[in-house]
Structure 1
Amino acid sequence: MNLHYLIQEPKIIHEKNPVLILLHGYGSNEEDLFSFATELPQEYYVISVRAPYDLQPYGHAWYAIHFDADENKFSDNEQAKESVALIACFIDEIVKQYPIDTKNVTLIGFSQGAILSYATALTYPEKIAKVVALSGYFNQDILPEVIDTKAISHLKFFVSHGTVDQVIPVDWARKAKPALENLGLEVAYHEYPIGHGVAPQNFFDFKNWLLR
């Protein structure tokens, strides 16, 4: 397996079960989002993936973030695209290994994981059904140059952000909805009066969205 992960098997077993793939943020690890696995719907496999790049002294990242002399932050987009390809390979491997319904794969990403969830779904739409993008933003620079709107037409997005997020400004997050709608996609967009995190109400709302 190309990426380390934690897995919770479904409590309600079908011939093929849906899967939720959790992608953590910069500097975190696979245990972070996995902490709410027990609260997720019981018919899902829940798989929490560790990002490939080790940070010092601890934690992991999907791609490097650099600061220049003026403290402007910029992302290593080439590394980000490599991680998108890694996630796509990972999906191929887990659907071979477990009885997963390949038509019901959902990515749940937080922060850097959300940024990559958008890109993975739009680059490999045949592998993904839904995306929950928590506290991230839509990075056009890591998307394919040409997006086939017919191939992506089934994708559904739940996007949420804290209005006082000090890491990724809410203005950045707000651009995702019109960008996705311009591609003809269905988007549920929510804001919460919190910083860079997931409020209980946010969790409740995306869980209900999944169950619908």
Structure 2
Amino acid sequence: MTSNLYYIKRPSTLKENAPLLIMCHGYGSDENDLFSFASELPEELFIISLRAPYAMQPYGNAWYAINFDAEKGKWSDDEQAKQSVDFISEFIDYACKTYAVNPDSLTLLGFSQGTILSYAVALTYPKKVRNVVALSGYINEAIIPDSIEEKDVAHLNFFCSHGTVDQVIPVDWARKTPVFLNALDVNHVYKEYPVGHGVAPQNFYDLKDWLKQYI
């Protein structure tokens, strides 16, 4: 079995049944971006950072196209996004078969576009995911199932955060997330920080403390 996505990894200190953390970067970035967090995260985590499948010019990668056409306004290629959801789902299967990890302890950590995908993977393939760390993103209902059964997502845990002055993804979009998760009775934390489209130091400390509880 081969991987459908390029990735880099940091092995766990555990020899077997390691909790797995898969990172999904934002639009125009690459696998090295979020991987800079790895040295600060618990040593027992087996960490994999993915590179999104679509190369951009002159550099960077995307999980799906975003068109900034002035006439149409900003719009996302939802079909391409759904394809990337499947790519990540298939990668989870690959990683769990390839490495000595615990398939019942998988965390997705995303930023921006990577967060949108992480939400979608967890809500589309909930049996494959346990936790989601969702930084500076939102739930795009166009790329998740029309109906979600509460019993299918009852085990999921979400840490969601957003900057109050985010100029890329409005904080109002993120504020719909806890409403959505409350309706499904899903365990979650939602926090805001006085920053733009990025991860404040306090945000990082909070997500680290949260992770220690759930891995």
TM-score, with structure 2 as normaliser: 0.96
**Superposition CA RMSD, Å:** 0.9
Q: How far 1:69 moved relative to its partner?
A: 3.0
Structure 1 stretches of at least 4 aligned residues deviating more than 6 Å after TM superposition: none
Counterpart in the other structure of 2:41: 40
The SS at the match of 2:16 is: coil
Counterpart in the other structure of 1:140: 141
Q: How far 1:187 moved relative to its partner?
A: 1.2
Separation in 2, partners of 1:189, 1:69: 33
The 3 A distance-change label for structure 1 pair 71 and 197 is farther
Counterpart in the other structure of 1:6: 8
Alignment of 1:1-212 (within 5 A): 1-11=3-13, 13-70=14-71, 72-212=73-213
Separation in 1, partners of 2:82, 2:145: 10
Structure 1's unaligned 5+ residue stretches are none
Question: Amino acid of the residue matched to residue 39 of structure 1?
Answer: E
Separation in 2, partners of 1:198, 1:171: 17
Separation in 2, partners of 1:191, 1:144: 27
Q: Structure 1, residues 62-87: CA drift from partner, whole Å, max 9, x if none?
A: 00001233462111000000000000
Separation in 2, partners of 1:15, 1:56: 40
TM-score, with structure 1 as normaliser: 0.97
Separation in 1, partners of 2:153, 2:193: 28
Structure 2's unaligned 5+ residue stretches are none
The SS at the match of 1:94 is: helix
Separation in 1, partners of 2:131, 2:16: 21
Question: Amino acid of the residue matched to residue 100 of structure 2?
Answer: P
Separation in 1, partners of 2:201, 2:44: 21
The SS at the match of 1:150 is: helix
Question: Amino acid of the residue matched to residue 152 of structure 2?
Answer: A
Q: Structure 1, residues 27-61: CA drift from partner, whole Å, max 9, x if none?
A: 00000000111001110001000000000000000
Q: How far 1:118 moved relative to its partner?
A: 0.4
The SS at the match of 1:164 is: coil
Separation in 2, partners of 1:172, 1:71: 20
